[in-house]
Structure 1
Amino acid sequence: MKKNIFILFFLGIISFASCSFTDKKFEQSADKEKLLMEIIQYMISRGHYDRQSLDDTYSKRVFKGYLQYLDPQKRYFIQSDIDEFKKSETQLDDDLKKMDISFFNLTYKRLQQRIEEANKLSVELLKGSYEFSKNESINLDYEKNPYPKNQEALREHWRKLIKYSILSNLIIKQKEEQTKKEKDSKYIVKKEEELKKEAIEATAKAFEEMFMSYKDLTENDWFGIYLNSYVEATDPHSSYMAPDIKERFDRDMSGKFEGIGAVLQKKSDGIRISDIIMGGPVWKGKLLEVGDLILKVGEPNKIPVDVIGMRLENAVKLIKGKKGTEVQLTVKRVDGTIQVVSIIRDIVEIEETFAKSAIIKSKDNKYGIINLPTFYVNFKDVRERNSASDMALEIAKLKKENVDGLIVDLRNNGGGSLAKVVEIAGLFIKDGPVVQVRDANGNVQILRDTDRGLQWDKPLIILINELSASASEILAAAMQDYGRAIILGSKQSYGKGTVQELIDLNREVRNSSLGDLGAIKLTRQKFYRINGGSTQLKGVNSDIVIPDRYQYIKVGERELENPMPWDEIGQASYNHWTDNKKFPQAIENSKKRIQSNKLFKLVDENARWVQKQREENTYSLNYATYKKQVEESEAMTKKFKEITEYKSPLEFSSFPSEEQKAKENEDVKLRRDRWHESLQKDIYVEEAVSVLNDLLK
């Protein structure tokens, strides 16, 4: 189920359509909405890997997905709304063919009406009195809960939601007071009524900001969600990207943008600085700090624009701009003073996007670890910084430090560029196939590493988890099939074996004057391992399975709506890596260590508890009962504290050049130290090092 409408699109494997999708050109239309529906119909029925039959079955999938986007937590619509909408459940395929948006108009207007009613209802209910002695509960299992029968049932649901929020905030505030008292015996704890008042205010603020975020969404935003439901009904990774989402996608894939280098968040009294990006203009000049509020945005010789209450996307567009240009921000500082701050915009690189490495010392051995968050690339200019060139650079730096083995961390790496994963695989093999790709007509293409150069020929460990997907799975699968690396991590990776093509819709229309039409991310191919098997649904199985905190929770492609099936094709011709005679013994040694390790047993116990907590969706609204639930959870959290407090005997360090940067800048040092600290607590990295030790014996 869609959790909410603000979820970012999963990266997956992407190839970029730099030219038109087909020879067909769509004619200019006066109606942008109908033109987009015409293009989407053509794309999914003729261009998708699994060409869609636009029939009633497809229509039902669109209907189900769209409703989940509109009201994922069943807070707004009542059953009579759903009954009315259901009349169109099998008509949406026909609407797409006729380019009819009447169903969208109906649902959009009704949703706006229901959201406004809920907003007024929440304000009214927050004025009521709340006591927590009554034995009642709330069930937050939104997928299984039915829609409220009528307005009275909806009102009761909102009453319980608000009561639950106040109760949660009250318990949190009591804990805060208790902590303050423990730290300072002279501290006077606030009275119960005062804490209850603060809990109600916190709840009111949270709901106010939630409704504010809905008001930020325009009719065009909701229409984009409607169109996306048509595309997403084909498979989980095809999607329609409205212009704003496409811009965000480009930024995430390239890891850079032009602006001031600050993460912004909309608040009722302005645009808040929620984070500052290292290396950006704000960071370099120490011009702003987290908590500052932007009130107005201007440029030299222009009247500044008031951004209080403005849609966040619109405010961001005013603040961003070309490198070298000036923006003048009227800012309310954390201390309450108001200043005008001038900032020269620049290219900002999001360091968390890029590959980074560290040196590991383990007794007499020295290893390297490279963390690769995504397979990033700038589709607009492939000569720009990318994941393959950065990986080669990090390996070269580690080789200069004479490391004896390498760990590549692909945990939580959701994928990225297909071309770059082939290049990266080529760093570890002399030459040969990396992945097989099949199109809708059954044609199979083998993507190869053709450069006989070998960047790294020593022992290699690859770390994966349940969220290692697409490009991560291609790299892990290829290294496993060659016998080139040992795969260590969760039982299996995500299980996404499809390739998406990013299609710029503006290229598909002849002489369009309708403005930016956005893009479609469309599944065009499936990829297969060089041994012929697919990673679709099944993922990559680790050679060494390590207990994981989330191993009992349903995660992966197989849990999504409309996933494509698993299949296999013929094997490619390739030569196995021969310098792996010690792999079986090292794997066997690791399994024995894991089985006898008390910490890993505790991780497994923690995973079972996490599963139990996730399945528990009913919460008491009685103060004593709810507090007992919270205390039991806290007691279990303390039991598992040993996992987070553990520190391995390994030593982590940066390259000399980076050490110098850390000495010169406190922020660089802080981020580096935080990463090294997390590595030292990482029992998976420690086990990977133990495996490398065995391989070197």
Structure 2
Amino acid sequence: MKTILNFMRRNYKILLLVMALSLAFWSFMPKAKVVDPEKDKLLLELLTFVIQRGHYDPVAVDDEFSKGLYKDYVQALDPSKRFFLQEDIDAFAKYELDLDDQIKNRDLTFFDLTYSKLMQRIKESEGYYKTILSKPFNYTIDEGFDTDYDKLPYAKNTTELKEKWRKQIKLSTLSSLSNKLELQEKAKDPAVRDSIAKNSKKKEKDLVEIESKTFEQLEKETRENSLKSLDEYFSFVDDLDRNDWFAVFVNSIAARFDPHTSYFAPDDKERFDVSMSGKLEGIGARLQKKNDYTEITDLISGGPAWRQKELEPGDQILKVAQGNKEPVDVVGMRLDDVVKKIKGPKGTEVRLSVKKTDGTLKVISIIRDEVEIEETYAKSSIVIKDGLKYGIIYLPKFYIDFEDRNGRDAAKDMALEVDRLKAEGVKGIVVDVRDNGGGSLKTVVDIAGLFIEEGPIVQIKSANKRKEILSDTDKKVQWDGPLVIMVNSFSASASEILAAALQDYHRAVIIGSKQTYGKGTVQNVFDLNQFVRNTSFGDLGALKTTTQKFYRINGGSTQLEGVHSDIAIPDRYAYVKMGERDIDNAMGFDKIDKANYKLWTKQYNFDAAIANSKSRVSKNEAFKLIDENAKWINDRSEETVYTLKLDNFQKEQKELELKAKKYKALADYSNHLTFSSLPYEDAITAKDTVLKEKRDRWHESLAKDIYIQEAINVLDDLQNSETKAKVTPMVGKKKKDKTVVGS
């Protein structure tokens, strides 16, 4: 059993799962094809047994629990309200307050009812889309479609439901048709033709081909593609059996206890273990499901998508194409089915049709490749400002190899990078944990200990409410010079422990988003088979449940609140709800007694450096533009009504593109700083061209990073005459512990 501080960016109104596009990808649904109601009843019993006894603060399974479960489960079955009718919901609603009793009594009545009705409605809907796509759409009609499914009512009858299907499909084909017409228009521009011809003969050929097609031909193509996509979708749905849908029900129950409690079917548990190792391959992106849409949550550093630089967090994937084949519409598909279409052999091309966060549509081509594990490890760079050398250490994860004592360990790697930077004579260090979602608890305690003499790092309370303090007991300090910790709203779990501890000690300046993600809980994975003597049911899988809560050494919890930056800087997602605090059933914030610790007293100009930075940020025009862009992105995300009239749709897209151009200047920002690898790495990259390309790309991104620029400015302000003249080397340190956090 491993203890994990698991960070999953998701809204648990429906079942979401953050996925790395590269593993064999885990799904919520077991693949067993044998239907055994007795096994399902046993699973219900085990689920409540383990959670009630192991969860840090299990909620009561009562009528309130039943109401929440009812809402989440029905929404998970039909998130876009295109299967169930209002009469179905009325029949389901009779059980809204009975589900707690059914769980306790191992009663499957409600599940059987919803399952049978869903199968009926799915079968009926297969005829809807075929009829709709059998004839051309009229794109001159001034009508619209609202995609805010939460607020939309269920259809009263099949006539209303068919109309909903018609508009939903029309929006998809309209988007595709608009793209084709735009490409056709570009084909008429000689300058565009010449530019494309220089870069790709294939794309030039595509332009020639599309240029000769009539509107009617293009419109027919979009319907044919949609028909193919929906045929594939329903073929996949038809392959799902009762066990698959029962897993949705089980996870809906688990998620009501807290957002990080979930059930792993046997295959899912194995894949989860693999994900903890950090060994990834694919395009290097993580996904989550948002209603019918698949959304990019973040990119794996060093992966193909990261190198390609076009895919971004927040992008929604609408279609997937294999090389030059026709794209397949993936809106409404299950997450793991979307993943299967995006995965593929190394060296092959996948084309993703995405909706950007600003509302514009774009087709992004990515060549699949391995995501080198090296890119999940700590790495450092040198930067020079006003004649002074500074160091940057990027830590993407608090990793550790539990199976190999001599394997990679983030704390050991961090200590080594600090030593290397000291040898280069740096006057300050930036530790970058932006987008770092967690990892090993042992490593975060050890890493924090590199920067202080000794003392507590984090406080932990278990389900029995017993408090434990994890401390740095080694008085040696690896680095005692100026220190900045960079965070953002995706820094979570172990990252928050590190930032909170060094902030409480007054040891480092925390700079970044207004506050971090806000996940202050620890999960354990329990093998459910250990609780059962009868093995005739086969492998029952595992349950991940919250067993502990961690607290800052000042007594406050990072749960919901996260860590508030000393210097809050605008970012693109400042106004978008994506933290733990935005999940309706997340565990609450509280406080405990503070630990006994002494403030760091060797830092000069601490308050002045913070004040200077705040002044610079408030006057910086680029930061003002970032904030304006963030507000616009948030406003755009709240606009859910789309026109289905072609002229209006094209006009809106052009207006969005014009508006977006204003913010594209941010992508071309230069901080006028020069970044370079350390000497040891120069020797390696001289022979390793792949690694050299990765480091060059990293240095390129650092040179465009306005946040790094301000972090270096803060290090500069933390200097005084003594530290500018000399940085005193300190002796390294080592520690050992055996607890795990993060994913």
TM-score range normalised by the length of the shorter chain? 0.7 to 0.9
CA distance in 2, matches of 1:434, 1:59: 39
Say if 1:45 and 1:54, in contact at 8 Å, map to a contact too: no
Residue 397 (structure 2) pairs with residue 374 (structure 1): yes
Specify which of 516, 519, 533 is matched with residue 510 of structure 1.
533
Report what 2:606 is aligned to: 583
**AA of the residue aligned to 1:7:** L
Deviation at 1:251, TM superposition (A): 1.9
Describe the shift of the 1:546–1:333 C-alpha distance in structure 2 as closer, same or farther (beyond 3 A): closer
SS of the residue 2:389 aligns to: strand
Report what 1:107 is aligned to: 114
Deviation at 1:620, TM superposition (A): 0.8
CA distance in 2, matches of 1:332, 1:405: 41
Residue 98 (structure 2) pairs with residue 75 (structure 1): no
Deviation at 1:378, TM superposition (A): 4.2
Specify which of 60, 65, 69 is matched with residue 72 of structure 2.
65
Specify which of 687, 690, 693 is matched with residue 716 of structure 2.
693
CA distance in 1, matches of 2:625, 2:652: 22
Larger relative contact order, structure 1 or 2 (CA cutoff 8 Å, min sep 6): 2
Residue 465 (structure 2) pairs with residue 458 (structure 1): no
Specify which of 570, 574, 578 is matched with residue 597 of structure 2.
574
CA RMSD of aligned residues (A): 3.4
CA distance in 2, matches of 1:263, 1:566: 34
CA distance in 2, matches of 1:148, 1:579: 67
Say if 1:2 and 1:69, in contact at 8 Å, map to a contact too: no
CA distance in 1, matches of 2:238, 2:37: 27
Report what 2:418 is aligned to: 395
CA distance in 2, matches of 1:605, 1:562: 31
Larger mean Cα displacement after TM superposition, 196-205 or 363-372 = 196-205
Any idea what the Cα deviations from partners look like across 1:527-547, whole Å, max 9, x if unmatched?
A: 111011111221111100101
Residue 171 (structure 2) pairs with residue 164 (structure 1): yes
Deviation at 1:215, TM superposition (A): 4.7
Report what 1:448 is aligned to: 471
Deviation at 1:2, TM superposition (A): 4.5
Say if 1:487 and 1:544, in contact at 8 Å, map to a contact too: yes
Deviation at 1:612, TM superposition (A): 0.9
Larger mean Cα displacement after TM superposition, 393-402 or 589-598 = 393-402
Any idea what the Cα deviations from partners look like across 1:609-665, whole Å, max 9, x if unmatched?
A: 111101111111111222221111111110111111112211122234444444444
SS of the residue 2:718 aligns to: helix
Say if 2:399 and 2:440, in contact at 8 Å, map to a contact too: yes
Residue 655 (structure 2) pairs with residue 646 (structure 1): no
Structure 1 residue runs of 5 or longer lacking an equivalent are: 11-28, 266-274, 281-289, 294-310, 321-328, 335-346
Report what 1:142 is aligned to: 149
Report what 1:286 is aligned to: none
Residues 110-509 of structure 1 mapped to structure 2, 5 A cutoff: 110-180=117-187, 181=189, 182-184=191-193, 189-190=211-212, 191-215=214-238, 217-256=240-279, 350-379=373-402, 384-509=407-532
SS of the residue 1:696 aligns to: coil
Specify which of 8, 20, 31 is matched with residue 18 of structure 2.
8
CA distance in 2, matches of 1:184, 1:348: 34
Residue 582 (structure 2) pairs with residue 559 (structure 1): yes
Describe the shift of the 1:220–1:363 C-alpha distance in structure 2 as closer, same or farther (beyond 3 A): farther
Say if 1:439 and 1:526, in contact at 8 Å, map to a contact too: yes
CA distance in 2, matches of 1:552, 1:76: 33
Say if 1:216 and 1:312, in contact at 8 Å, map to a contact too: no
**AA of the residue aligned to 2:261:** S
Overall identity of the aligned pairs, in %: 49
Deviation at 1:522, TM superposition (A): 1.2
Structure 2 length-normalised TM: 0.77
CA distance in 1, matches of 2:108, 2:454: 52
CA distance in 2, matches of 1:242, 1:466: 31
CA distance in 1, matches of 2:402, 2:247: 23
CA distance in 1, matches of 2:637, 2:375: 29
CA distance in 1, matches of 2:680, 2:120: 59
**AA of the residue aligned to 1:238:** T
Any idea what the Cα deviations from partners look like across 1:196-242, whole Å, max 9, x if unmatched?
A: 23333443344345445545655433322211111110111111222
Deviation at 1:464, TM superposition (A): 1.3
SS of the residue 2:546 aligns to: strand
The number of aligned residues is 619
SS of the residue 2:699 aligns to: helix
CA distance in 2, matches of 1:75, 1:413: 37
Specify which of 30, 40, 45 is matched with residue 38 of structure 1.
45
CA distance in 1, matches of 2:397, 2:472: 20
**AA of the residue aligned to 1:481:** D
Say if 1:412 and 1:465, in contact at 8 Å, map to a contact too: yes
Report what 1:609 is aligned to: 632
Deviation at 1:574, TM superposition (A): 0.4
Larger mean Cα displacement after TM superposition, 483-492 or 465-474 = 465-474
Describe the shift of the 1:686–1:112 C-alpha distance in structure 2 as closer, same or farther (beyond 3 A): farther
CA distance in 1, matches of 2:640, 2:388: 49
Structure 1 length-normalised TM: 0.81
CA distance in 2, matches of 1:263, 1:640: 26
Say if 1:79 and 1:150, in contact at 8 Å, map to a contact too: yes
**AA of the residue aligned to 2:114:** T
Report what 1:272 is aligned to: none
**AA of the residue aligned to 1:97:** K
**AA of the residue aligned to 2:262:** S
Deviation at 1:9, TM superposition (A): 7.5
Say if 1:255 and 1:354, in contact at 8 Å, map to a contact too: no
Say if 1:254 and 1:386, in contact at 8 Å, map to a contact too: no
Report what 2:560 is aligned to: 537
SS of the residue 1:68 aligns to: helix
Report what 2:199 is aligned to: none
SS of the residue 1:448 aligns to: strand
Larger mean Cα displacement after TM superposition, 176-185 or 165-174 = 176-185
